[in-house]
Amino acid sequence: MAPLVLTFPDIDPVAINIFGLKIHWYAIMYLIGFVVAYFLLRRRLKHEPYRSITKPDKWSPADIEDLLLYAIAGVIVGGRLGYVLFYKPGFYLANPLDVIKLWDGGMSFHGGAIGVIVGIAVHAFIKKRPFLQVGDFLVPAVPFGLMAGRIGNFINGELWGREASADLPWAMIFPTGGDVPRHPSQLYQALLEGLLLFVLLWLYARKPRYRGQVAGAFLIGYGVFRFIGEFWREPDAYLGLLSMGFSMGQWLSIPMVVAGLIIWTWARTQAISDVEVGGSDDAVDGHGEAEGDGVDAPVEDNSAETEDHASDDIANATHGSGETTVDDGSSSPELPESNR
């Protein structure tokens, strides 16, 4: 008896068509990612150090709106340029006008990450806030958007995985992947660099950390999970595997991990805390000990000190405007090949 292999359902990439206005599933997933990120960041305002920061101004919902605006612009511009430069430079060099044809598809996460970094820098400059303080604030909400994007890839039936054994219960035949069973690598990546990274990073960021440690942890976590997930993902046909048998996505992830380790280690060495005590910037001394009563110092232990649960945060963050008080025990558009 032949093994049962799942066949990918032929889903129309256009979710809604209103008088010729086509709204694609991928665009909807992006929208969901940004909306959830907004409410997660509203929740983030209740975490230390953002709850106590007063200089130059208190963090507010208006800051979230401005920051997300720059981040969205960074994702679109950076993601497109990253795809052009990292994946198809020869094609776009010969067809430069095609660079602006976003509707034809082609986005790169690594390019989008660079774009978001630029957006963070612009926001930090305008608001006169430390760059890493802004980065630490934003990145815990990013993995949820990554998960939404990978689900969009799956719905579009793109960026599928490498050939799999027909005995694999969830092996799947994709319409554009030939008649062979494949790994649904989009879902693997949604779980790794999306859900798992979100839970770990959110728990880590709930306690006060030295400035830069949360951003560094994100770069490390994403780079590692993306590197692992690429082993099940089919390499791009026009690139194939590169040196040492690694894919382009893996090679681009290695410098992310290195950069994250450097930032995290530097942050621990510098021991700069943004938690304010009595209006002072000097909440924590060089050894991470609180100089005032009632404020948790940044902790280096990355174990789950979880009196609160990530599920509560997700539920609360996606319902309401984020005005709920937190009892955490601390002081604290359709784009094929869209998301490289």
SS3 category, 28: helix
Residue pair 48/277 in contact (Cβ under 8 Å)? The answer is: no
Q: Is 67 left (phi over 0), alpha (psi -120 to 50) or beta?
A: alpha
Tokens of 292: 């005032």
In the block, tokens 């359709």 appear at 334
SS3 category, 115: helix
Strands (E), the chain: 6-7, 14-18, 21-24, 172-173
Q: How far apart are CA 246 and CA 235, in angstroms?
A: 9
Q: What Å distances lie between residue 17 and 22, 28, 181, 313, 324, CA to CA?
A: 5, 13, 32, 35, 37
Q: Binding-site residues, please?
A: 150
SS3 category, 74: helix
Residue pair 152/29 in contact (Cβ under 8 Å)? The answer is: yes
Q: What are phi and psi of 125, to 5 degrees?
A: -65, -45
Q: How far apart are CA 243 and CA 247, in angstroms?
A: 8
